[in-house]
A and B are shown apart, each in its own frame.
Chain A
Amino acid sequence: MKLGVLRPLVLFSLAGLLPAQVTYDQILHANREPQNWLTYSGGYAGQRYSGLTALTRANVGNLELKWVYHPKYSDKMEATPLVVDGVLYTVQNSEVIAMDAVTGRAFWTFHYAVPPESNAYVMVVKGLAIAGHTLYWPTYDGHLIAIDAKTGKAIWNKTIFDWRKGYQFNVAPLVVKDMLILGPATNERGMNCWVAAYDLKTGQERWRFYTAPVAPEDPAFKTWTGDSWKHGGSPIWVTGSYDPETNLTF
Protein backbone atom coordinates (compact mmCIF):
# COMPACT_ATOMS: atom_id res chain seq x y z
CA MET A 1 0.00 0.00 0.00
CA LYS A 2 1.42 3.34 -1.04
CA LEU A 3 0.82 6.54 0.85
CA GLY A 4 -0.78 8.06 -2.20
CA VAL A 5 0.52 10.05 -5.12
CA LEU A 6 3.02 12.71 -4.18
CA ARG A 7 2.16 16.18 -5.35
CA PRO A 8 4.56 18.14 -7.55
CA LEU A 9 5.75 20.28 -4.64
CA VAL A 10 7.01 17.15 -2.94
CA LEU A 11 8.35 15.41 -6.00
CA PHE A 12 11.12 17.87 -6.68
CA SER A 13 12.89 16.80 -3.55
CA LEU A 14 13.14 13.24 -4.81
CA ALA A 15 15.09 14.09 -7.94
CA GLY A 16 18.61 12.78 -8.04
CA LEU A 17 20.92 11.30 -5.47
CA LEU A 18 22.76 13.53 -3.07
CA PRO A 19 26.43 13.60 -4.05
CA ALA A 20 29.06 13.12 -1.36
CA GLN A 21 29.97 16.51 -0.03
CA VAL A 22 33.64 15.94 0.74
CA THR A 23 35.36 12.84 -0.62
CA TYR A 24 38.69 11.35 0.36
CA ASP A 25 39.89 12.15 -3.16
CA GLN A 26 39.03 15.82 -2.62
CA ILE A 27 41.05 15.92 0.59
CA LEU A 28 43.86 14.04 -1.12
CA HIS A 29 44.00 16.74 -3.81
CA ALA A 30 42.91 19.70 -1.71
CA ASN A 31 45.25 21.97 -3.67
CA ARG A 32 42.94 21.61 -6.69
CA GLU A 33 40.17 23.57 -4.98
CA PRO A 34 41.74 26.51 -3.17
CA GLN A 35 38.30 28.06 -2.63
CA ASN A 36 37.73 25.35 -0.03
CA TRP A 37 39.56 24.53 3.21
CA LEU A 38 38.83 20.87 3.85
CA THR A 39 41.11 20.00 6.76
CA TYR A 40 42.61 21.76 9.75
CA SER A 41 45.89 22.38 7.92
CA GLY A 42 44.39 22.78 4.46
CA GLY A 43 45.86 19.54 3.11
CA TYR A 44 47.67 16.37 4.09
CA ALA A 45 51.09 18.02 3.85
CA GLY A 46 50.08 20.25 6.75
CA GLN A 47 51.58 23.37 5.22
CA ARG A 48 48.50 25.58 5.75
CA TYR A 49 49.19 27.24 2.42
CA SER A 50 46.31 28.74 0.45
CA GLY A 51 46.43 28.71 -3.34
CA LEU A 52 44.07 31.67 -3.58
CA THR A 53 45.58 34.58 -5.46
CA ALA A 54 43.03 37.38 -4.99
CA LEU A 55 44.85 38.72 -1.95
CA THR A 56 48.26 40.16 -2.76
CA ARG A 57 50.90 42.34 -1.16
CA ALA A 58 49.63 45.17 -3.34
CA ASN A 59 46.00 45.03 -2.22
CA VAL A 60 46.23 43.69 1.33
CA GLY A 61 46.08 47.26 2.65
CA ASN A 62 42.64 47.69 1.11
CA LEU A 63 40.96 44.96 3.17
CA GLU A 64 37.88 46.09 5.05
CA LEU A 65 35.52 44.50 7.55
CA LYS A 66 32.76 42.47 5.90
CA TRP A 67 30.99 40.81 8.79
CA VAL A 68 31.50 39.85 12.43
CA TYR A 69 30.59 36.60 14.15
CA HIS A 70 30.12 37.02 17.87
CA PRO A 71 30.19 33.58 19.52
CA LYS A 72 28.05 32.78 22.50
CA TYR A 73 30.98 32.05 24.81
CA SER A 74 33.81 34.31 25.87
CA ASP A 75 36.59 31.70 25.63
CA LYS A 76 39.39 32.34 23.18
CA MET A 77 38.91 31.09 19.64
CA GLU A 78 41.63 28.72 18.44
CA ALA A 79 39.69 26.82 15.79
CA THR A 80 40.66 26.95 12.14
CA PRO A 81 37.35 27.00 10.23
CA LEU A 82 36.60 24.57 7.43
CA VAL A 83 35.10 25.93 4.21
CA VAL A 84 33.14 23.76 1.80
CA ASP A 85 31.46 25.29 -1.24
CA GLY A 86 30.74 28.60 0.46
CA VAL A 87 29.70 27.17 3.83
CA LEU A 88 32.03 27.90 6.75
CA TYR A 89 32.04 25.47 9.69
CA THR A 90 33.64 26.36 12.98
CA VAL A 91 33.46 25.52 16.67
CA GLN A 92 33.99 27.31 19.95
CA ASN A 93 33.44 26.04 23.48
CA SER A 94 30.14 24.13 23.29
CA GLU A 95 28.86 25.28 19.94
CA VAL A 96 29.42 24.27 16.32
CA ILE A 97 28.09 26.62 13.69
CA ALA A 98 27.58 26.45 9.93
CA MET A 99 27.46 29.86 8.35
CA ASP A 100 27.37 31.51 4.98
CA ALA A 101 30.94 32.57 4.26
CA VAL A 102 29.74 35.63 2.33
CA THR A 103 27.38 37.09 4.92
CA GLY A 104 28.38 35.38 8.17
CA ARG A 105 24.74 34.38 8.75
CA ALA A 106 24.05 31.04 10.39
CA PHE A 107 22.54 28.05 8.63
CA TRP A 108 22.42 26.08 11.85
CA THR A 109 24.00 25.87 15.28
CA PHE A 110 24.75 22.66 17.18
CA HIS A 111 25.03 22.72 20.96
CA TYR A 112 26.65 20.12 23.16
CA ALA A 113 26.90 20.93 26.84
CA VAL A 114 30.54 20.36 27.74
CA PRO A 115 30.63 20.00 31.56
CA PRO A 116 32.20 23.20 32.94
CA GLU A 117 34.06 21.14 35.55
CA SER A 118 35.99 19.38 32.75
CA ASN A 119 37.47 22.74 31.85
CA ALA A 120 40.27 22.90 34.41
CA TYR A 121 42.18 25.68 32.69
CA VAL A 122 40.68 27.11 29.54
CA MET A 123 38.40 25.56 26.96
CA VAL A 124 40.63 24.78 23.99
CA VAL A 125 38.83 23.74 20.82
CA LYS A 126 41.01 23.56 17.71
CA GLY A 127 38.46 22.60 15.10
CA LEU A 128 36.49 20.05 13.15
CA ALA A 129 36.99 17.49 10.40
CA ILE A 130 34.62 16.76 7.54
CA ALA A 131 34.04 13.69 5.38
CA GLY A 132 31.06 13.12 3.13
CA HIS A 133 28.16 15.00 4.70
CA THR A 134 29.44 14.57 8.24
CA LEU A 135 31.37 16.86 10.57
CA TYR A 136 33.41 15.39 13.42
CA TRP A 137 33.94 17.24 16.67
CA PRO A 138 36.17 15.88 19.47
CA THR A 139 34.94 17.65 22.58
CA TYR A 140 36.98 18.85 25.52
CA ASP A 141 35.31 16.26 27.77
CA GLY A 142 36.26 13.28 25.61
CA HIS A 143 33.30 12.78 23.34
CA LEU A 144 33.56 12.30 19.59
CA ILE A 145 30.42 13.63 17.93
CA ALA A 146 29.37 13.08 14.31
CA ILE A 147 27.16 15.92 13.08
CA ASP A 148 25.14 16.11 9.87
CA ALA A 149 26.80 18.97 7.97
CA LYS A 150 23.52 19.85 6.25
CA THR A 151 21.25 20.01 9.27
CA GLY A 152 23.45 20.35 12.35
CA LYS A 153 21.91 17.28 14.00
CA ALA A 154 24.02 14.74 15.86
CA ILE A 155 24.35 11.40 14.06
CA TRP A 156 26.19 9.74 16.93
CA ASN A 157 27.95 10.78 20.10
CA LYS A 158 30.58 8.42 21.44
CA THR A 159 32.51 8.66 24.70
CA ILE A 160 36.20 8.06 23.95
CA PHE A 161 37.65 8.60 27.42
CA ASP A 162 36.81 9.77 30.92
CA TRP A 163 37.91 13.39 31.29
CA ARG A 164 38.00 12.91 35.08
CA LYS A 165 41.21 10.91 34.59
CA GLY A 166 42.92 13.99 33.23
CA TYR A 167 42.45 13.62 29.48
CA GLN A 168 41.05 16.20 27.09
CA PHE A 169 40.58 16.54 23.34
CA ASN A 170 41.97 19.73 21.92
CA VAL A 171 42.88 18.84 18.35
CA ALA A 172 40.89 18.81 15.14
CA PRO A 173 40.76 15.25 13.75
CA LEU A 174 42.46 14.31 10.48
CA VAL A 175 40.34 12.29 8.04
CA VAL A 176 42.37 9.56 6.29
CA LYS A 177 40.40 7.23 4.03
CA ASP A 178 37.55 5.92 6.23
CA MET A 179 39.17 6.84 9.53
CA LEU A 180 39.62 9.79 11.85
CA ILE A 181 43.12 10.20 13.30
CA LEU A 182 43.36 11.98 16.63
CA GLY A 183 44.31 11.56 20.23
CA PRO A 184 43.91 13.11 23.66
CA ALA A 185 46.08 15.56 25.53
CA THR A 186 46.52 16.24 29.20
CA ASN A 187 47.54 19.26 31.16
CA GLU A 188 49.75 18.72 34.22
CA ARG A 189 48.31 15.29 35.06
CA GLY A 190 51.08 13.30 33.32
CA MET A 191 48.63 10.85 31.78
CA ASN A 192 50.06 8.74 28.97
CA CYS A 193 48.33 9.74 25.75
CA TRP A 194 47.87 8.12 22.37
CA VAL A 195 47.10 8.61 18.69
CA ALA A 196 44.21 6.46 17.45
CA ALA A 197 42.14 5.84 14.36
CA TYR A 198 38.35 5.86 14.69
CA ASP A 199 35.86 4.57 12.14
CA LEU A 200 34.06 7.37 10.30
CA LYS A 201 30.73 5.54 10.30
CA THR A 202 30.62 4.31 13.87
CA GLY A 203 33.36 5.97 15.91
CA GLN A 204 34.74 2.55 16.79
CA GLU A 205 38.48 2.49 17.47
CA ARG A 206 40.53 0.78 14.72
CA TRP A 207 44.01 1.07 16.21
CA ARG A 208 45.86 2.92 18.94
CA PHE A 209 49.49 4.02 19.27
CA TYR A 210 50.65 5.10 22.71
CA THR A 211 53.02 8.05 22.58
CA ALA A 212 54.83 6.88 25.73
CA PRO A 213 55.47 3.31 26.94
CA VAL A 214 52.62 1.70 28.83
CA ALA A 215 54.64 -1.35 30.00
CA PRO A 216 58.31 -2.32 30.46
CA GLU A 217 57.96 -4.68 27.49
CA ASP A 218 57.55 -1.69 25.19
CA PRO A 219 60.72 -1.31 23.02
CA ALA A 220 60.71 2.41 23.81
CA PHE A 221 60.79 1.71 27.55
CA LYS A 222 64.60 1.75 27.74
CA THR A 223 64.69 5.30 26.37
CA TRP A 224 62.87 6.60 29.47
CA THR A 225 64.82 7.10 32.68
CA GLY A 226 63.52 5.82 36.00
CA ASP A 227 59.76 5.66 36.18
CA SER A 228 59.26 8.69 33.97
CA TRP A 229 57.52 6.44 31.42
CA LYS A 230 54.58 6.13 33.80
CA HIS A 231 53.77 9.80 33.65
CA GLY A 232 55.44 10.95 30.47
CA GLY A 233 52.29 12.45 29.06
CA SER A 234 53.23 12.95 25.41
CA PRO A 235 49.93 14.69 24.73
CA ILE A 236 48.46 15.31 21.27
CA TRP A 237 48.26 19.06 20.90
CA VAL A 238 48.18 19.50 17.15
CA THR A 239 46.54 17.83 14.16
CA GLY A 240 49.00 15.60 12.33
CA SER A 241 49.83 15.24 8.66
CA TYR A 242 49.63 12.27 6.29
CA ASP A 243 51.78 10.99 3.42
CA PRO A 244 49.58 9.07 0.95
CA GLU A 245 52.62 7.59 -0.85
CA THR A 246 53.95 5.81 2.22
CA ASN A 247 50.60 5.61 4.03
CA LEU A 248 52.21 7.10 7.10
CA THR A 249 50.77 9.69 9.46
CA PHE A 250 53.00 12.04 11.40
Chain B
Amino acid sequence: MLQSLGVCVLALAAAPLFAQSGDAAKGKALVASSGCTGCHRIGDQGSRTGPDLSEIGDKRTAEKLKTSLVDPDEEVLPENRYVSVILKDGSTVRGRILNHDAMSVQLIDTKQDLRSFQTSAIKGYTILTKGLMPKPQLSDGQVADIVAYLSSLKGTEAP
Protein backbone atom coordinates (compact mmCIF):
# COMPACT_ATOMS: atom_id res chain seq x y z
CA MET B 1 0.00 0.00 0.00
CA LEU B 2 2.70 2.45 1.06
CA GLN B 3 4.74 1.38 -1.93
CA SER B 4 1.93 2.16 -4.36
CA LEU B 5 1.35 5.47 -2.63
CA GLY B 6 5.00 6.24 -3.16
CA VAL B 7 4.72 5.55 -6.88
CA CYS B 8 1.69 7.82 -7.03
CA VAL B 9 3.50 10.64 -5.26
CA LEU B 10 6.49 10.22 -7.54
CA ALA B 11 4.26 10.41 -10.60
CA LEU B 12 2.61 13.59 -9.33
CA ALA B 13 5.98 15.11 -8.59
CA ALA B 14 7.29 14.22 -12.03
CA ALA B 15 4.71 16.31 -13.86
CA PRO B 16 5.85 19.77 -12.77
CA LEU B 17 9.48 18.67 -13.02
CA PHE B 18 8.86 17.70 -16.63
CA ALA B 19 7.26 21.06 -17.35
CA GLN B 20 10.14 22.90 -15.73
CA SER B 21 12.75 21.07 -17.75
CA GLY B 22 11.68 22.70 -21.00
CA ASP B 23 12.14 26.26 -22.20
CA ALA B 24 8.70 27.92 -22.42
CA ALA B 25 9.97 30.72 -24.70
CA LYS B 26 11.33 28.19 -27.18
CA GLY B 27 8.10 26.25 -26.91
CA LYS B 28 6.07 29.37 -27.68
CA ALA B 29 8.17 30.04 -30.76
CA LEU B 30 7.74 26.44 -31.90
CA VAL B 31 3.97 26.61 -31.49
CA ALA B 32 3.86 29.92 -33.37
CA SER B 33 5.95 28.65 -36.29
CA SER B 34 4.39 25.24 -36.65
CA GLY B 35 0.81 25.95 -37.59
CA CYS B 36 -0.70 24.85 -34.27
CA THR B 37 -3.02 27.85 -34.29
CA GLY B 38 -4.49 26.57 -37.54
CA CYS B 39 -6.69 24.48 -35.27
CA HIS B 40 -6.02 25.70 -31.71
CA ARG B 41 -6.85 29.06 -30.16
CA ILE B 42 -4.55 30.73 -27.65
CA GLY B 43 -5.88 34.00 -26.27
CA ASP B 44 -7.33 35.95 -29.18
CA GLN B 45 -5.27 34.18 -31.84
CA GLY B 46 -5.94 30.99 -33.77
CA SER B 47 -8.79 28.84 -34.93
CA ARG B 48 -11.66 27.69 -32.74
CA THR B 49 -12.02 24.33 -34.50
CA GLY B 50 -9.70 22.46 -32.13
CA PRO B 51 -9.38 22.57 -28.34
CA ASP B 52 -8.77 26.05 -26.93
CA LEU B 53 -5.35 26.11 -25.27
CA SER B 54 -5.67 29.48 -23.52
CA GLU B 55 -6.03 27.86 -20.07
CA ILE B 56 -4.61 24.44 -20.83
CA GLY B 57 -1.94 24.84 -18.18
CA ASP B 58 -4.66 24.88 -15.54
CA LYS B 59 -6.54 21.94 -17.00
CA ARG B 60 -3.95 19.34 -17.98
CA THR B 61 -0.84 18.05 -16.28
CA ALA B 62 2.51 18.22 -18.01
CA GLU B 63 2.41 14.46 -18.52
CA LYS B 64 -0.99 14.66 -20.20
CA LEU B 65 0.22 17.48 -22.41
CA LYS B 66 3.25 15.44 -23.41
CA THR B 67 1.02 12.50 -24.32
CA SER B 68 -1.20 14.78 -26.40
CA LEU B 69 1.87 15.86 -28.37
CA VAL B 70 3.58 12.55 -28.96
CA ASP B 71 0.45 10.42 -29.25
CA PRO B 72 -2.51 12.70 -30.05
CA ASP B 73 -4.92 9.81 -30.61
CA GLU B 74 -4.29 8.31 -27.18
CA GLU B 75 -6.99 10.40 -25.52
CA VAL B 76 -9.55 12.80 -26.99
CA LEU B 77 -11.66 14.41 -24.28
CA PRO B 78 -15.43 14.27 -24.85
CA GLU B 79 -15.67 18.05 -25.22
CA ASN B 80 -13.13 17.92 -28.05
CA ARG B 81 -14.78 15.19 -30.08
CA TYR B 82 -15.17 15.74 -33.78
CA VAL B 83 -18.16 14.41 -35.62
CA SER B 84 -18.99 13.83 -39.24
CA VAL B 85 -22.65 14.44 -39.99
CA ILE B 86 -24.04 13.06 -43.24
CA LEU B 87 -27.21 14.85 -44.21
CA LYS B 88 -30.07 13.37 -46.17
CA ASP B 89 -29.33 15.80 -49.01
CA GLY B 90 -26.00 13.99 -49.45
CA SER B 91 -23.74 16.66 -48.01
CA THR B 92 -21.33 16.04 -45.16
CA VAL B 93 -20.47 18.47 -42.38
CA ARG B 94 -17.57 18.00 -40.00
CA GLY B 95 -17.02 19.85 -36.80
CA ARG B 96 -16.40 19.81 -33.06
CA ILE B 97 -19.48 18.65 -31.21
CA LEU B 98 -21.07 21.20 -28.86
CA ASN B 99 -24.40 19.65 -27.97
CA HIS B 100 -26.39 16.59 -28.93
CA ASP B 101 -29.77 15.24 -27.94
CA ALA B 102 -32.48 13.10 -29.46
CA MET B 103 -33.85 15.96 -31.53
CA SER B 104 -30.79 17.74 -32.88
CA VAL B 105 -27.01 18.15 -33.08
CA GLN B 106 -25.04 21.37 -32.58
CA LEU B 107 -21.42 21.81 -33.65
CA ILE B 108 -18.83 24.36 -34.71
CA ASP B 109 -17.82 23.46 -38.25
CA THR B 110 -14.48 23.73 -39.99
CA LYS B 111 -15.26 27.30 -41.07
CA GLN B 112 -15.88 28.17 -37.40
CA ASP B 113 -19.60 28.62 -37.99
CA LEU B 114 -22.11 27.47 -35.38
CA ARG B 115 -24.35 24.86 -37.04
CA SER B 116 -27.43 23.01 -35.87
CA PHE B 117 -29.07 20.02 -37.51
CA GLN B 118 -32.34 18.39 -36.64
CA THR B 119 -32.18 14.61 -36.38
CA SER B 120 -34.86 14.32 -39.06
CA ALA B 121 -32.43 15.82 -41.59
CA ILE B 122 -29.52 13.51 -40.67
CA LYS B 123 -28.71 10.29 -42.49
CA GLY B 124 -25.58 9.32 -40.58
CA TYR B 125 -23.46 10.45 -37.68
CA THR B 126 -19.91 9.38 -36.87
CA ILE B 127 -17.65 10.35 -33.99
CA LEU B 128 -14.09 10.86 -35.20
CA THR B 129 -11.46 9.90 -32.65
CA LYS B 130 -8.40 9.19 -34.76
CA GLY B 131 -6.24 11.41 -36.93
CA LEU B 132 -7.63 14.68 -35.62
CA MET B 133 -4.16 16.01 -34.89
CA PRO B 134 -0.94 15.12 -36.70
CA LYS B 135 1.74 13.30 -34.78
CA PRO B 136 4.58 15.81 -34.96
CA GLN B 137 8.21 14.83 -35.49
CA LEU B 138 9.79 16.41 -32.45
CA SER B 139 12.91 15.81 -30.41
CA ASP B 140 12.51 15.14 -26.70
CA GLY B 141 13.85 18.64 -26.04
CA GLN B 142 11.30 20.24 -28.32
CA VAL B 143 8.48 18.29 -26.69
CA ALA B 144 9.69 19.50 -23.30
CA ASP B 145 9.84 23.10 -24.56
CA ILE B 146 6.28 22.99 -25.90
CA VAL B 147 4.98 21.31 -22.74
CA ALA B 148 6.67 24.01 -20.67
CA TYR B 149 4.94 26.68 -22.76
CA LEU B 150 1.53 25.00 -22.65
CA SER B 151 1.85 24.50 -18.90
CA SER B 152 2.34 28.25 -18.55
CA LEU B 153 -0.98 29.06 -20.24
CA LYS B 154 -3.34 29.96 -17.40
CA GLY B 155 -5.96 32.06 -19.12
CA THR B 156 -6.41 35.67 -20.12
CA GLU B 157 -6.07 38.41 -17.55
CA ALA B 158 -8.03 41.63 -17.87
CA PRO B 159 -6.09 44.10 -20.07
Interface residues of A (CB under 8 A from B): 1-7, 9-10, 12-16, 18, 85-87, 98, 100, 102-103, 105-108, 148, 150-151, 153-159, 201-204
Contact = CB atoms under 8 A, between A and B. Distances in A.
B103 interface: yes
Interface in B110-139: 110-114, 116, 118, 128, 131-138
Contacts of A3: 30, 34-36, 134, 136-138
Looking at chain B's contact residues, is the secondary structure mostly helix, strand, loop, or mixed? loop
A87 B25 CA distance: 39
Interface stretch (B9-17, B60-68, B94-102): B94-102
B116 A100 contact: yes
Contacts, number: 112
B158 interface: yes
A contact face: mostly helix, strand, loop, or mixed? loop
Interface string B17-45: 00000000000001001111011010110
B38 A6 contact: yes
Which of A9, A12, A85, A157: most chain B Cβ within 10 A? A9
Contacts of A148: 48
A158 B137 contact: no
B47 interface: yes
Given A106-B106, A150-B48, A154-B156, A6 B112 contact: no
